[in-house]
Amino acid sequence: MSNNEDDDHLGAFKLKVIDHFQVSPPQGSVPTSSLPLSFFDFPFLVSSQTRRIFFYEFPYSTNHFLETVIPCLKQSLSLSLQHFFPFAANLVFPTKPKKPHIHYVDDATSSSIPFTVAESTLDFNHLVADYSRDISDIYPLVPKMPPALALEDDTLLFPLMAIQVTVMSNSGFAIGTNFHHIVGDGMAFHHFMKTWASASNRLIRKKAPSESREVEEEEEGIHNSLPIFNDGSMVQDPNGVELCFLNHWWNWGPKVLLMVGSARAGQHLTIDLLEVKATFKLDKNHIDKLKHWISHKSQEAKEKEELASLRLSTFVVTCALIWICLAKSEQNTNMENEDEELYHFGFLANCRSRYEFLSIPWTYFGNCVAPGYVTLKRRKLVGENGIVEAAKAIRNKVKELEKDGVLRGAERWLLEGMEKAKSKHHFVIAGSPKLSVYETDFGWGKPIKSEVIHDRGSVSISLSDCREKNSGGIEVGVGLGRDQMNHFAEIWEQSLRML
């Protein structure tokens, strides 16, 4: 049951903790295992946790929810973890020269996921709305990550995932997830979530005799999509990038960096009450017009030849629009040389389909993404042809990754990422429409909404598919200060009216 400390801490957020559990794979289903990290994983060693919330409609009482939904979610989670056991494991960070790795022990007290059940009096319809909402309303739905454990030999153990399910009586519920990016990228995470959702769905349908045979056939076929883990040889490192990354961490004092991250992870962050979250949508018609608009403006700017060879993909034009809206929405500080300020835009490219990594299947579990950064001066972004400049820069980077390979300059990923993160004009896109977030059905229908939640003080930008599949559109999640959000929304709407 809940304890007084949790109730006192969360009371201001209109949320009451009902129960705590530790969920692990079925006993004996997973042997004690250690997984090495690849050079794709190392850049995320001290990254902040990744937080996502799935909202589902459920017009029934809290008691009905606790009696029907929670047992199903817990059982299906346990069954799914036998295939995705790294989420229940720990990140082990030993002293130099030993390498960090992920370690699972067949012991529920050592390897499990904290699973919190809570009830909230917040308005469900308000939480899932597209308009601006205070982050302070949404953040309590995200579970707290347990703190790190320090062993006698100075080895650090970091839990890798926490889950919280919050019910809003007679309205709906939210499944909040918090996981360390070191364990896997977005494709690995959503593979796990869909497997968990599918297992929950099958448990519900098994109770219906007419569907039991179909469920058995699904269970026979599920093994074709089980995750494949790194055995130390699957991800090749011909350029010695891993050793380069390890030397960086050992030189920078990883214990200090990781202890800071652990201290922050063990508590809810203080939320800036002025920070808000909103969702902006682009349907297929918007996207087509956006491509035409950028092409037209490029011709007006006499840059037709320069852009002629660039394919204006949906990703490129969407990111270009986001970038210029972010730049224009910032308050003008009238500082000297403001127009010369550098603006950085980052994204992650999935490497599973790259020719260099054809041996890595789509079911590979871990990180298999490479960063792409583009930089422009403010005057170019906010100028008359800013969207052309943004589209050109982003498309050139995509083309460069395709032509030269994602590993070119990989040894600089850590330093480049940390350097750009120091800038106050640093934006990074999370998520992807290709991850099909809205296909995560636990048996009570598709999510009515899904949100990515970032740390306080950081600009939050995410992409996903739309719940309405036939729209062919994209959802853009944006987290900003209240004043900047108002400016961003005005500029966004003005841009769409110009299409």
DSSP 36: E
Return the percent helix, strand and coil in the chain, to nearest 5.
45, 25, 35
Residue 170 sits in the same domain as residue 295: no
Q: Residue 54 and residue 128: Cα distance in Å, rounded?
A: 10
Over pLDDT 70: what percentage of the chain? 84
Confidence band for 126, pLDDT divided at 50, 70 and 90: very high
CA separation (Å) from 52 to 145, 149, 242, 293, 437? 13, 25, 29, 33, 10
CATH number of the domain within which 27 lies: 3.30.559.10
Residue 280 sits in the same domain as residue 252: no
**Per the residue annotation, which of 181, 344, 425, 426 is the catalytic one?**
181
pLDDT tens per residue across span 405-434: 888 888 888 878 878 877 788 899 999 999
Q: Terminal CA-to-CA distance of the chain, rounded, Å?
A: 55
Count of domains in the chain? Answer: 2
Provide the pLDDT for residue 304.
47
**Per the residue annotation, which of 64, 103, 441, 487 is the catalytic one?**
441
Task: Report the pLDDT averaged over residues 301-306.
Answer: 51
Residue 373 sits in the same domain as residue 298: yes
Residue 362 lies in a domain: yes
Q: Which of 265, 285, 316 is the last residue of a domain?
A: 265
**Three-state SS at 299:** helix
**Three-state SS at 492:** helix
Q: Pick the residue with more confidence: 191 or 401?
A: 191
Q: Which of 265, 285, 314 is the last residue of a domain?
A: 265
Residue 363 sits in the same domain as residue 421: yes
For this structure, is 180 an active site residue? no
Provide the pLDDT for residue 332.
66
Q: Pick the residue with more confidence: 292 or 115?
A: 115
Residue 284 sits in the same domain as residue 347: yes
For this structure, is 441 an active site residue? yes
Residue 270 lies in a domain: no
Q: Residue 172 and residue 174: Cα distance in Å, rounded?
A: 7
Residue 250 sits in the same domain as residue 282: no
pLDDT tens per residue across span 103-113: 999 988 889 99
Q: What is the span of the domain harbouring residue 348?
A: 275-497
Q: Residue 393 and residue 374: Cα distance in Å, rounded?
A: 6
